[in-house]
A and B are shown apart, each in its own frame.
Chain A
Amino acid sequence: MSEIANVPKSYDFYNSHFPQPPQEERERAAQIAIDGLAGLDKELMATYAFSPWQRNFWITVAILVVAGFAIWPVQVGSSLVGFLVVLYGLTLYSRSRITIMGLTSTARNENILPVEIDDLPIYSILMPAFDEPEVIRNLVRAVDAIDYPKERLELLLLLEEDDNSTIDSLIGVELPTSVRVLLVPPSEPRTKPKACNYGLQFARGKYVTIFDAEDVPQPMQLRDAVELFESSPDDVACLQARLDYFNYTQNLLTRFFTVEYATWFGCILPGLQRLKMPIPLGGTSNHIKTNLLIDLGGWDPYNVTEDADLGIRLVQRGYRTLVLDSVTFEEANSDTVNWIRQRSRWYKGYLQTWLVHMRQPRATLGHMGPRGVLGITTVIGLTPALAAVNLFAAFLTVLFFIGVPASLTGIFPPWVVYVGSGMFFFGNAFVILTSIMAMIRMKKEYLALTCLVFPLYWLLMAVAATKAVYQLIVRPSYWEKTQHGLTDESAE
């Protein structure tokens, strides 16, 4: 294989090993992968971060705050601190409500009718990979593990045409019959959603899902998804399986990550589902009706959290997402720098998504109603925004305790001190408590002690969120790739 790798290869060479669709079809699919959504509504794409009015609005706010603080430091300072306290309070309230609804929801989807093996439809799996030569090992393992008739399973491995190292690693390997390698023509933006959009054009399945190369879904997941789809009303367009990590014992960071995901998938998403609020989809293991996804224009190739964006667009079109009671195991990021890189991309994507859907607030309100707008603002917009503000809030808290200069004591009026301190203590305690409750619900009680030091994780989140805000302004569509394969094998 190393000899082959040293020889410069052409598209024709690869085509001979992995037959590709006709060139015309490839070009058409590549074009749709980039412009499919734009054809429906250009304003729904994150090709730019801020619309003109949004940019002007935020610049005006920034100028007013800075100028106001320079002229009336106490009045503007106290108003800002008061505003923050109210914002934290509202977020805490909505998060509590969502969590409690999630904790009291029933774990399993009820009234699911079994589907006979002969009635199972063709199922397409999109598996995008870039610069991951080790993908082959996981790919074979994943296909073998899935309990679905192989003749009705279609796994589309999506590789960039110029990703020589990954393609080379597949040459000479006997791939399972259900695997089809698709080479994505090189073009900008080089993002995962663009590759998925390309693959979507060739998917034959009634349903389609995405798995990352290192994912380990539960064997019955596809059949569970079919059964839930077939038992649900027509407006259910998407199912989100739970994500979990197989390397949680590797270090404190992977434990934190596992706690976070268990809370998110075990409490928050079921809570959002019960409250009929938009569900931001996770990066993988979301199962969607293929035709409907094509009608929706696929994923936004410019959005770095295209999954969250898709979840909102589904709601805007009147469709629902349900939580599928099945787990996909992933690799938790175990390196702090790598984690910050990944998290800052997610946060940037969340902010992008919120800004995109707030470009026409009246239309969004019309599509989603007040509850939907509140939902996306709380879960999508405020999550990264408040995480970024946390650093500033922590600084203010420290400032308050070590002593504020006499001229600025007024920025902490008594009501702000009482409410703020109350939220600092009770809010943090509440989040820790609900995390532990989520651990019990998800049968991960062994992570309870990790929850007690969870505030350390919030500090990391604050750093990532600050970086995300910076990147949103200077490099809105830059895809910061996460490095996989950092798992200490003994931790699995």
Chain B
Amino acid sequence: MTVLSPARSSLRMVSVLDALLAILDRVRVLIIRLWPAWLFSAYFFGGWWFASKGDGIQDAYSRIASAWQIAAGFEPHLTEIGFVWGPIPVVPEIPFAIIGRYWAPMITMGLCATIVTAGFGILMVYQAKMLFTERGLRPATVTALCWLMAFNPMLFIYSSNGMSEIPYIALLMAGIRYLSRWETSRATLDLAAASMLVGLATWDRYEALVAMVGLVSVVILVLLHDTRGQSWRERRGLFEANLIIAVMPTLMFFGTFILFSWTLTGQPLAQFTSQQGNNVQILALLRSQHYSATATTRAINISSELLHIAPVLPFLFFFVLGLIWTERSKLRISGLAIFGLPLIFDLYGLTSGIQFDFMRYYIQAIMLVFCLGVELTVARRWGATVAVAAAAITALTVWTSMGNPNIGSLEYSYYVTLTGGEGHYYSDAQLDTPHVMAQWFDRLSLPPDSVLTDPTFGGLMITQSRRPYQFATSNDRNFLDVVNAPYKHHVRYVITVPSSLGTIYPISAYFPTMFNGCVPNTQLAAQFVLHGLQGFRRTYRVYKITGPISPSGVKADEKCLYPTPPNTH
């Protein structure tokens, strides 16, 4: 047996340690380089876990229902995405929804939507990372801010729940990055990229139109600064050319969407005019007690909510605004304009009652904290510490706001789940009843388009069905023909809701008294009760159609009032 001398033995140990350290270093590099994969996994499995606990939001499931109907339809047609929602995130969900034909959780647990928003979540963090780096932040600051962004409770939840907020934020973040580059380089390709990204965001949320106004403001301010001292005649060409580049892509994206919507459905702006659109729903809600507060009260409430969610924002806002005024050559205003203006618009909307009072509208405030923090870091040596602290404080305040059901009405269920409570009772998308309804219909083995409903109220049920093609919805191209003569178009069941909900549910616009059993040739087949947020109940009645019915044949006598006054239900 050879005995190694202590010197040789320690040398060998050192070399083994070196090798181990090298391996560990490689693993570390691999982990760092593969951060999008890890983050995607976190969002994906997080979304799966939330869904398994019953957390979800109805709007997301409504989109999934549209994608599912296309993916599993008998005659799939892209117009079935409906035009109440923009094509993002519905269209990217379709390929994953196809997998749902073979693996149910992709639809029933909303995983096809989770994949899409997780992808956009990665895009958001990546674009932020690039922006921070291009603005000259130190790697440690970049990493800290990216972590705080990726795992901010709101941003995390919305990156995993299939809603439209994160795609919108990710596209705007990318737009800010390119616009910020343009502020430095004046390279038209950067400006064009920024305007295209903001334009694309209009396919996700209409607020992107306001973001475009922000983008245009930046272009005007920068050009005014560049051409100071010149006459308008000298400036004109430069302004015209750059402003066309700034505006044209957005008009193109939005205009094309309107044109398609108008051509295919007859409604150019379905979000505002459709029965399932925001406006109609908000008007209905405003009639209720909860929304009857005065504008002043609402303004106070909303300011207070904003301070709850992002208390550091006012400080950052005014301080950075002052810095921009004094050191404009060093600082960039893209983030402030592109997240700031839509935030102001949303706050105005909330105050004036043209928006739902949801916490998710404040998501831009969170992003604004990051953008302002970056400029502070560029301007002051101590800015990095303040920026990271502000992002950390915001993560904390967002978390506490979610824990308050009066602020985070939709997010509260996630909070309860994350803190170990029973969350599903509070969930906006309560899946138990829709699942039972879907199973009831699936057992009937009905042919395509046999059940009349719509993707907003019926969306949850459609996602729980393995036979989504059995539902005829308002997204269908021939919806008007079907709803005017259901029996002739092979509809055998109609899902109804109380007429007190008004015409949010489009079937009620045609058969307002069917819920009360006042339409001839129909008979009550089943009744389901949905339990929702904070003790909310909604009753669905399923009527079987036994012969031809038409909207003109609806009875409206003293027994079947038309329509039932909203406040009597």
Q: Do A and B come from one complex?
A: yes
Residues of chain A lying within 8 A (CB to CB) of residue B189? 100, 103-104, 437
What 6 A-B pairs come out closest when comparing CB atoms?
Answer: A445-B237, A446-B237, A448-B241, A445-B241, A437-B188, A448-B240
Residue picked from B187, B237, B259, most chain A C-beta under 10 Å: B237
Interchain CB contact under 8 A, A440 and B241:
yes
Interchain CB contact under 8 A, A441 and B188:
yes
What are 19 A-B pairs at a CB distance below 8 A? A100-B189, A414-B78, A421-B256, A421-B260, A425-B252, A425-B255, A432-B248, A433-B244, A433-B248, A437-B192, A439-B241, A440-B188, A440-B241, A445-B238, A446-B237, A448-B237, A448-B240, A451-B244, A452-B244
Residues of chain A lying within 8 A (CB to CB) of residue B188? 103, 436-437, 440-441
Kindly state the separation between the CA atoms of A440 and B187 in the bound complex, as whole angstroms: 9
| Range, interface on chain B | 20 to 34
Residues of chain B lying within 8 A (CB to CB) of residue A436? 188, 241, 244-245
SS class of chain A's interface: helix, strand, loop or mixed? helix
Residues of chain B lying within 8 A (CB to CB) of residue A418? 78
How many A-B residue contacts, CB cutoff 8 Å? 59
B353 at interface by CB-CB < 8 Å: no
Q: Which of A104, A433, A440, A446 contacts B236 (CB 8 A)?
A: A446
CB contact under 8 A between A433 and B249, given known A414-B78, A418-B78:
yes
Kindly state the separation between the CA atoms of A107 and B241 in the bound complex, as whole angstroms: 19
Within the complex, the shortest CB–CB distance from B485 to chain A, in Å, comes to 22
Kindly state the separation between the CA atoms of A332 and B488 in the bound complex, as whole angstroms: 66
Residues of chain B lying within 8 A (CB to CB) of residue A452? 244
Within the complex, the shortest CB–CB distance from B450 to chain A, in Å, comes to 24
Mask, B81-110, CB within 8 Å of A = 1, is 000000000000000000000000000000
Interchain CB contact under 8 A, A449 and B240:
yes
Mask, B209-241, CB within 8 Å of A = 1, is 000000000000000000000000000111011
Mask, A446-459, CB within 8 Å of B = 1, is 11110110000000
Q: Which of B145-196 contact A (CB under 8 A)?
A: 187-189, 192
Interchain CB contact under 8 A, A425 and B244:
no
Q: A429-B252, A440-B238, A448-B244 are in contact. List 6 more A-B contacts (CB 8 A).
A: A422-B256, A429-B248, A433-B244, A436-B244, A445-B241, A448-B237
Interchain CB contact under 8 A, B256 and A425:
yes
Within the complex, the shortest CB–CB distance from B71 to chain A, in Å, comes to 16
Which residue from chain A places its CB closest to the CB of B251 in the assembled complex?
A: A429
SS class of chain B's interface: helix, strand, loop or mixed? helix
Mask, A409-422, CB within 8 Å of B = 1, is 00000100010011
Kindly state the separation between the CA atoms of A100 and B196 in the bound complex, as whole angstroms: 14
Within the complex, the shortest CB–CB distance from A10 to chain B, in Å, comes to 56
A392 at interface by CB-CB < 8 Å: no
Interchain CB contact under 8 A, B242 and A440:
yes
Residues of chain B lying within 8 A (CB to CB) of residue A432? 248
Residues of chain A lying within 8 A (CB to CB) of residue B236? 446
B77 at interface by CB-CB < 8 Å: yes
A426 at interface by CB-CB < 8 Å: yes
Interface of A toward B, CB cutoff 8 Å: 100, 103-104, 414, 418, 421-422, 425-426, 429, 432-433, 436-437, 439-441, 444-449, 451-452
Interchain CB contact under 8 A, B192 and A414:
no
Within the complex, the shortest CB–CB distance from A446 to chain B, in Å, comes to 4
Interchain CB contact under 8 A, B244 and A426:
no
CB contact under 8 A between A426 and B237, given known A100-B189, A103-B189, A437-B188:
no
Which residue from chain B places its CB closest to the CB of A449 in the assembled complex?
A: B240
Within the complex, the shortest CB–CB distance from B496 to chain A, in Å, comes to 33
Within the complex, the shortest CB–CB distance from B265 to chain A, in Å, comes to 15
Within the complex, the shortest CB–CB distance from A413 to chain B, in Å, comes to 12
Residues of chain A lying within 8 A (CB to CB) of residue B240? 445-446, 448-449
Kindly state the separation between the CA atoms of A463 and B453 in the bound complex, as whole angstroms: 52
Kindly state the separation between the CA atoms of A298 and B192 in the bound complex, as whole angstroms: 43
Interchain CB contact under 8 A, B77 and A414:
yes
Kindly state the separation between the CA atoms of A448 and B192 in the bound complex, as whole angstroms: 14
Kindly state the separation between the CA atoms of A448 and B246 in the bound complex, as whole angstroms: 13
Residues of chain B lying within 8 A (CB to CB) of residue A421? 256, 260
Which residue from chain B places its CB closest to the CB of A438 in the assembled complex?
A: B188
Residues of chain A lying within 8 A (CB to CB) of residue B259? 425
Within the complex, the shortest CB–CB distance from A436 to chain B, in Å, comes to 5
Residues of chain B lying within 8 A (CB to CB) of residue A425? 252, 255-256, 259
Residues of chain A lying within 8 A (CB to CB) of residue B242? 440, 445
Within the complex, the shortest CB–CB distance from A267 to chain B, in Å, comes to 10
Residues of chain A lying within 8 A (CB to CB) of residue B248? 429, 432-433
Residues of chain B lying within 8 A (CB to CB) of residue A100? 189
Kindly state the separation between the CA atoms of A436 and B239 in the bound complex, as whole angstroms: 12
Kindly state the separation between the CA atoms of A425 and B189 in the bound complex, as whole angstroms: 20
Interchain CB contact under 8 A, A433 and B237:
no
Interchain CB contact under 8 A, B241 and A426:
no
Residues of chain B lying within 8 A (CB to CB) of residue A440? 188, 238, 241-242, 245
